[in-house]
Structure 1
Amino acid sequence: MTTEVTKTAEKTPAETPETTTGGRVYQPLADIVETDEGVTLMLEMPGVVPDDVDVTLEKRVLTIRGKVRPTSTEKLQLAYAEYGEGDYERSFTLSEDFDPERIEASVSHGVLTLSLPRAAETKPKKIAVKAS
């Protein structure tokens, strides 16, 4: 039994959401692990603290947003930068296999981990085989 977790189409700069601060919005990289118990999503969101993460589920669309508080380098003059600061946003379309009341999220070391447990009625059932 394969569970459907579909990511949305990749965002191009023209499709990137506008922000009130004029900052960038990045689509965080994600790993998806599936087990009999459910699915775990792990998203890279460096610089995001738990209070600045917003996870919503509406009509089977799981949306994750993370806000990064800008770091200041008042005493330092930046000579070169490869890392661009910005907020994060990503959406996934879920199948109806999941129990929305038991979804859990945590942030540790720049990684947001979401646990999406399967609804009890959708878990695979083991059928015992008896000898006759």
Structure 2
Amino acid sequence: MAMYWDPFRELDRLAASMLDSRQGPRVMPIDLHRDGDHYVLSADLPGVDPGSVDVDIDGQLLTIRAERTMRSEEGTQWLVRERPSGSFLRQIALGDGLDTGSISAHYENGVLSVVIPVSEQAKPRKVEVQSAQHADREVTAKAGSETS
């Protein structure tokens, strides 16, 4: 995977950091990978109270919400304040073949991990291949048992 610098993305990031965080939910960065028979989604939520993290499934839509509040002592004079606060939201449309009833989530060290299992029906399986000789014997045996 090639890494490249996108000046428009940097401009978007700069503009977003200058906007008031109370204008709406912020998007959280995620990674998603498949590990055997399940997918693992990791979302960065540093400094978020685990009690504010909410993971919902509605049909095939996974929604993650979280809240980060900035603590400020009275009389504090901020010199730099780049860490966003407020609501965070991410919605991911899940495809078919996933076991949405068995999704689990764990929050540790500022990272939310959501494990999404693949359903039994969607897992790869081996199909037995029978030879023509074997299939002919079964048909003959079945036909013979019906006439008796």
What's the offset of the Cα at 1:50? 2.3
Query: How many residues in Structure 1 have an aligned counterpart in Structure 2?
Result: 113
1:90 equivalent to 2:90? Answer yes
Give the equivalent residue in structure 1 for 2:99.
Answer: 99
Which protein has the larger Cα radius of gyration, Structure 1 or Structure 2? 2
Higher mean C-alpha deviation, range 74-83 or range 58-67: 74-83
Identity %: 28
What's the offset of the Cα at 1:29? 0.4
User: With structure 2 as the length reference, what TM-score do the two structures score?
Assistant: 0.66
What's the offset of the Cα at 1:24? 4.5
**CA distance in 2 between partners of 1:40 and 1:72 (Å):** 35
**CA distance in 1 between partners of 2:36 and 2:59 (Å):** 23
Q: Is the 8 A contact 1:24 1:85 kept in 2?
A: no
**CA distance in 2 between partners of 1:64 and 1:27 (Å):** 10
Q: Secondary structure at the match of 2:25?
A: strand
Deviations 1:68-122 (Å, cap 9, x if unpaired)? 1331233532112222222210000001211112100011111110000011111
What's the offset of the Cα at 1:35? 2.7
What's the offset of the Cα at 1:125? 1.4
Runs of 5+ unmatched residues, structure 2: 1-11, 13-20, 131-148
One-letter identity of the residue aligned with 1:109? N
Higher helix share: 2
Runs of 5+ unmatched residues, structure 1: 1-11, 13-20
Give the equivalent residue in structure 2 for 1:68.
Answer: 68
User: With structure 1 as the length reference, what TM-score do the two structures score?
Assistant: 0.73
Higher strand share: 1
Q: Secondary structure at the match of 1:90?
A: strand
